[in-house]
Structure 1
C-alpha cells in the first residue's frame, strides 16, 4: 500500500510517453499551477527522427521536439519555424523538420542529448522539465503471439500480428539500458505519474521496459494514471479494449501498479472514422467498465473527445483538468490527514 506523504507545494506531475497524444496533454497541463515533467521515449526509428538517428548514431529527436514545443512559452511564429518540415521535393532535407536538425546539432555540439535538451529548454522558455527516457537510442524488440519476433519501432506494427511482449536494448548490445538523468528521481518524487496517451507498444512501453523506470513506477508513492487511447491502432491494438490496455501494462511489469484509469466514453461519429486520414487508426477503443474495475482502484470516465479536421484527439483541457483536480485533491487529503492525526 502506498504511504501518505505531506507536501506544501504545487503538485508534481510526471507524464511519460511519446507520439502525438503526449503534447496535447502537456499543452493543457502547462497552463495549470503544477510542476510538470515530461519523460520522452527514445526508441523511434522512422521518418526524419530515424534518418537523423542513423546519421548521428544519436537519440531520435522527433518526440523531444514536439514536447519542447508543447511546453514552450516562445511566440507562436517561433514555434512554427521550429516545427517547419521541408517539402518532399527537397532532395537533401526532404521530410526533416528544423527542430529535429537543431536538436541533433545541439546534441552533437554538447556531446550529450540531456545537456542539449536542457539548453534548448532554456532557450525556448519551457515551462516545466523535459528529460529523455534514456540518453542513447534504444532498439525496441517485439515477440508476437505466434512466437515470432521483430525489431525496430517502425517495423513492429507492419507485421500485422498481435504483440505479446516488448523489450528494449541499446544499439550497442554490450551496453546496459539505463534511464536518463533525473528520470527515476522525478518519478520517485512525483505526486502523480501519467502514462499516455500514445501507442501502447511503441510509445509507452519502451519507457517502462527501461529497468530503472519500471522499478520506479512500482516503488513510487505517486498515484499512477493511465490515459486510455481513443482509437485502436493497426499492428498494435486491434480488438483491444481499454481494460486490455491496462492488463498489458500490468503484465509487462509483473504486477498491478496503475491506480487510476482515465477513459473516454464519448462516441466518435462514424464519418470521422471513415474519413480518418491516418490509416494506422481503425476503430474506437471499446469501454469495458467491469474489466477496468478488476485492474484499477479508480476509474475516471467522461467524454474526452476533441474532434478536429486532422482527426480524433483527446480534449487536452478536460483531461488536464481531471489530472490536476485529482492530484490537488490527493494533496489536500494528505494535508488534512496529518493535520487531524
Structure 2
C-alpha cells in the first residue's frame, strides 16, 4: 500500500498572487525560493511615472509592475536583471525616468501584437519561474467613489486626493477605441485562480494595488468559485489618503465588500509592534500609524486569523518579511491550520 502521509510532497504548491506595487515582487521572490509554482496576476490601472507615460503614448497596459514581477521570478543572471531594471537619468530628455524593461515590454507587445504573446517570449528570455499575467489585456482606469457621491478617475489623482474612499471600480481606457469593451480578465488569469491551491491577495495598497483586480467581474467570480484557499495579507501600516484610521478588520471588510461575499478564508496579520522611530521616519511620509487590531470586527468577517511577527524593518520603511509570509502560506497549504 502506498502511504498518503505526505500527500502534498509529490508536486509544487500552486500559488496565485493577486496585486501590484512594491509588495507583490517581494512575496513572489520568496515563493520562488520556496519552489512554489507561482502565477502573478498584476494590476493594469497604474497611470503614473514611466508606466503611465508609455500607457498613454502607446495605448498599452502599464508595464512597470509587470517588469518588477518578471525580475522577481527570473532565474536569469543578475547582470540581465540589472539591465532590465535600469532607469534612465533625469537629464536624459524624453527617456528620463523610463526603465529599460518597460521599453522592452512595450516594444515586444507591439512586435508580437499583444502583451500576452510578448510575455510568453519574455518568460523564455528571462528564464521565468512561473508566470506573470496582466489582470486585464488592456489598460484600465481606476475610479474612486466617495461617501458624498463624488467620483475621481485615475490612480495618480486618487492617491493625490488623500481622502477616505468608499469603494472603487474600473473602466476601460480609451473608450472611443473600445466603445463596447468591458473590463475582462487577461489570458489564463481565471485558469490560474481556479487551478491554484492557494490564492493570495496582497501585500499591497488596498485600493490601488489589490482592489483594481478584484473588481474585474471575471476575477471576482473566480475568487468565489475557486476551490483554492483564499488568503489576504493585511497591511502593517495605514496609508495616507487610502486607509487612514483603518483597523485590520476594516481592511478585511472592504475586501469582502468588493468581493460581495465573505470569501477570504485566511488573513495574515502582523502582531508585532512597529518601533516608534519607523512611524516618525521622514523616509515614509505616506505611512501614518500601525494598523490597529480589532478582534470583534474580525470575527464578523468569518475568516481564520493567523497572527505572527511579519515585520521586516529597513531604512526605507516597514515591510513584510517574505520568508515568514511564505512559511505561513505553506502551512495553510499543508492544512496545518
- TM-score band w.r.t. shorter chain: over 0.9
Name segments (4+ residues, structure 1) moved above 4 Å: none
Matched, 1:66 2:68: yes
- 3-state SS of paired residue (2:33): coil
- Counterpart residue number, 1:12: 14
User: Does the CA contact (< 8 Å) of 1:227 and 1:263 recur in 2?
Assistant: yes
Alpha-carbon distance in 2 for matches of 1:203, 1:118: 23
Is residue 227–residue 262 contact of structure 1 (8 Å, CA) maintained in 2? Answer: yes
Write the distance in 2 (CA, Å) between the matches of 1:283 and 1:52: 35
Residues 1:289 and 2:291 aligned together: no
Structure 1 equivalent of residue 151 of structure 2: 149
Partner SS state of residue 291, structure 1: helix
Q: Distance in 2 between matches of 1:114 and 1:91?
A: 30
TM-score by length of 1: 0.92
> Which position in structure 2 is the counterpart of 1:118?
120
- Runs of 5+ unmatched residues, structure 2: 1-6
Aligned partner of 2:53 in structure 1 is: 51
User: Aligned runs of 1:187-226 on 2, under 5 Å?
Assistant: 187-226=193-232
CA RMSD in angstroms, aligned pairs only: 1.5
Measured after TM superposition, the shift of residue 126 of structure 1 is: 0.8
Contact 1:200 1:236 in 2 (8 A): yes
Structure 2 distance, partners of 1:278, 1:92, is: 29
Q: Does residue 319 of structure 1 match 2:325?
A: yes
Secondary structure, aligned partner of 1:92: helix
How many corresponding residue pairs? Answer: 326
If asked which structure has higher relative contact order (CA below 8 Å, sep 6+), I would say 1
With 81-90 and 214-223 compared, the bigger mean Cα shift is at: 81-90
Where 1:163 maps in the other structure, the secondary structure is: coil
Please, what TM-score do these two structures have when normalized by structure 2? 0.93
Instruction: Find the aligned partners of 2:221 and 2:258 in 1 and give their Cα distance.
Output: 12
Whole-Å separation in 2 of the counterparts to 1:85 and 1:215: 38
1:15-53 C-alpha deviation (Å, 9 max, x unpaired): 000000011111100011321111000000001100010
Residue number among 164, 186, 189 corresponding to 2:192 in the alignment: 186
Correspondent of 1:163 among 162, 165, 171: 165
CA-CA distance at 1:254 after TM superposition? 1.4
Equivalence for 2:259: 253
What does residue 108 of structure 1 align with?
110
1:42 has 2:8 as partner: no
Equivalent position SS for 2:156: coil
Where structure 1 has 5 or more consecutive residues not aligned to the other structure, the ranges are: 1-5, 334-341
CA distance in 2, matches of 1:96, 1:272: 30
